[in-house]
A and B are shown apart, each in its own frame.
Chain A
């Protein structure tokens, strides 16, 4: 039972409250990603779990033990820092051994542990190099190795990939995932990159402004965003959002109508935000689709797909379309076809997801 429970966690600096009561349970062996824009409180939350920030209010439980006043070193957690915090004066082996030495682990035990972990991470040839002589990816591995050697109950990752270039980031992302599958240690991972969140997480926690917006598996969040914030945060490009008014036959967007089933009479006339994922439209009509006229601005080819930047009324929209090796046929697009069952509706004032009927 090495789970982590946050129970009404609050962080305030004097009168300024930055985290407003986080409730979250991370199950044993689960990989949970905290994602959100910078300043949303995700790092602060992680640092409170680590014990690097004092918890202003609420309770933190790790493995069934209340940790609010336990020193970081006694929480049995390990952390990978954004800048890795590798000691430049120590070589790779010494960096990984640092924590074990401090804890007075026997020398031969340290050696076997380091060798094992180095093997797993592919660091064996670099053990006596200094961090300055390593590539970005190798440094990142050492930082993880330093966390792994201690066999902690919980891994904490604070934007560990943000210092890497795009290609390496993809590679290390997969490596972290494989490592987690192999070691099965409870992990909490903070990032601002929604792709990282989607690919790594068992469950994603979307945070904004010191609060949790939604918790769920990546696909739950992608398919059923609880509000416009989550809808706009996950997915690339994000979900298109347009002002609309519900009518008895669907939603009126500007001068077009998207046909929807099941608008109740009570909902008729209500102002909503209509959400359409860029990849959910098609260029030709299909079953139960509605045409949405657009004014095409720009076609950005990405290879097999292209992004269509377009306008409808006041809304700037982005859609994805297949290229089939050519983009000429896309330049004349004047409307897209929206399938009714993939349209999301949100309340125009609160931004919360709406369901039709009742």
Chain B
């Protein structure tokens, strides 16, 4: 703010105008969330009639009651936690040792291995061969299949590899002279030194698992295995496709709109709770991602 006093009048006006525009964009970003929250707490009738703008109309918790009483909601929620935690652990188990190995100058064929991995960022076999492969592997409708098949991606490995490569060689050498083998160098030196990068990758994994939808929808058939996002999608499409249902529910105090909104709120809340803590890592992470070969 020190600078402010040195600004000319024109600069001050410019700064104010820009600040207002930023404020408007910020509000526009935030508004849909507020709107959805308002809808979720409104009565079904008010929501259906499009009366909700900013605050709940005819405030009620009926929509939440409807959701929270649906056992499938809880099953899916639990599944999402399993996919997120299991998947993230699985990812780290592949990525950390893999990235370490790829970062070592003594690895013979290092360039070839790196190319082998980076190539998958540029060329992808596509949906069909991937799906058929999963079927051949017997991983359709398998929770383990979901956890394993999306554990690794080239981007995360390269990101961590770059971070490992930037660690001064002498750390490894000192540990080696102290008698550490590669596993010890990795776990006792590199991993603690790379906390920011590993945190970033962990968060990338968590977010992509939490949000993962398409392949869960394609690969999972059993209701007891589907994650929250798939359940959410089923509910949204069922509710909006079924007018009769909507009318019935309105009398019950909720509607397709309020129920949809309530599920959205329920699945967004964990993200919102964690978000402020992870945000700085993501900022760092995306910059780490200015990847080089």
* Any A–B CB pair closer than 8 Å: yes
Q: Is A82 an interface residue (CB 8 A)?
A: yes
State whether A73 touches B179 (Cβ < 8 A): yes
CA gap between A87 and B191 in the complex, in Å: 11
Tell me if A85 and B180 are in contact (CB < 8 A).
no
Bitwise interface map of B from 9 to 46 toward A, beta carbon under 8 Å scored 1, else 0: 00000000000000000000000000000000000000
Given A87-B192, A88-B193: A78 and B177 within 8 A (CB)?
yes
- Chain B 184-217, CB-CB to A under 8 Å as 1, else 0, gives 1000110011010000000000000000000000
Q: Is the interface of B mostly helix, strand, loop or mixed?
A: helix
Is A99 part of the contact surface with B, judged by Cβ < 8 Å?
yes
Measured CB to CB, the nearest residue on chain A to B106 is A54
Report B-chain residues with C-beta under 8 Å of the C-beta of A82.
170
- The answer, among B177, B192, B195, for a CB contact under 8 Å with A79, is B177
Check B178 for interface membership: any CB of A closer than 8 A.
yes
Most buried by A among B173, B174, B176: B174
Contacts of B175 in A (CB 8 A): 98, 102
Are B170 and A89 neighbours in the complex by a CB distance under 8 Å? no
Interface string of A94-105 (1 = CB under 8 A from B): 000011001100
* Interface size range on B against A: 10 to 19
| A77 CB within 8 Å of chain B | yes
State which residues 37-73 of B face A: CB under 8 Å.
none
Q: Contacts A87-B193, A88-B193, A99-B179 given; indicate if A79 touches B184 (C-beta within 8 A).
A: no
Query: How many residues of A are counted as interface, with CB atoms below 8 angstroms from the partner's CB atoms?
Result: 23
Contact B177 A102 (CB under 8 A): no
Q: Mark B70-90, 1 if CB is under 8 A from A, else 0.
A: 000000000000000000000
Contact B178 A98 (CB under 8 A): yes
Whether A72 sits at the interface, judged by CB under 8 Å, is yes
| Chain A positions 291-316 with a Cβ under 8 Å from a chain B Cβ | none
The minimal Cβ–Cβ distance linking B228 to chain A, given in whole angstroms, is 36
How far in angstroms is the closest Cβ of chain B from A203? 24
Q: Does B7 contact A (CB under 8 A)?
A: no
Contact between chains at A85 and B193 (CB < 8 Å): no
Residues of B within 8 A of A102 (CB): 175, 178-180, 184, 188
Q: A79-B173, A87-B189, A88-B193 are in contact. Are A73 and B168 (CB under 8 A)?
A: no
Shortest CB-to-CB span from B177 to chain A, Å, is 5
A99 proximity list for chain B (CB < 8 A): 177-179
In the complex, number of A-B residue pairs with CB atoms less than 8 Å apart? 58
- Selected from A72, A87, A88, the residue in CB contact (under 8 A) with B176 is A72
Does B130 lie at the interface of the complex (its beta carbon under 8 Å from any beta carbon of A)? Answer: no
In Å, the complex CA distance between A253 and B263 comes to: 97
Query: By CB atoms of chain B within 10 A, which of A71, A79, A85, A89 has the most?
Result: A85
A51: B residues at CB distance < 8 A: 177
Does chain A have a CB within 8 A of B144?
no
Asked if B119 CB lies within 8 Å of chain A CBs, one says no
Of all chain A residues, which has the CB nearest B189? A87
Q: Let me know if B179 and A52 touch, CB within 8 A.
A: no
A229: B residues at CB distance < 8 A: none
Residues of B within 8 A of A192 (CB): none
Task: Give the residue of B170, B188, B189 whose beta carbon is less than 8 angstroms from that of A81.
Answer: B170
User: Complex formed: what's the CA distance from A102 to B175 in Å?
Assistant: 9
Q: Check A72–B189 contact: CB distance below 8 A.
A: no
B245 touches A (CB below 8 Å): no
Q: In the assembled complex, which residues on chain A have CB atoms less than 8 Å from the CB atom of B184?
A: 102
Bound form: Cα–Cα A81–B177 in Å: 11
Shortest beta-carbon distance, B118 to chain A, in Å?
A: 25
Interface string of A58-80 (1 = CB under 8 A from B): 00000000000001110001110
User: Is the C-beta of B171 less than 8 angstroms from some C-beta in chain A?
Assistant: yes
Would you give 30 A-B contacts (Cβ < 8 Å), ordered by A? A52-B176, A52-B177, A72-B176, A72-B177, A73-B177, A73-B178, A73-B179, A73-B180, A78-B177, A79-B173, A79-B174, A81-B174, A85-B171, A87-B171, A87-B192, A87-B193, A89-B192, A89-B195, A98-B180, A98-B188, A99-B177, A99-B178, A99-B179, A102-B175, A102-B178, A102-B180, A102-B184, A103-B178, A146-B178, A150-B178
New A-B pairs, 7, CB < 8 Å, besides A98-B175, A102-B178: A52-B177, A72-B177, A85-B171, A89-B193, A89-B195, A98-B180, A99-B177
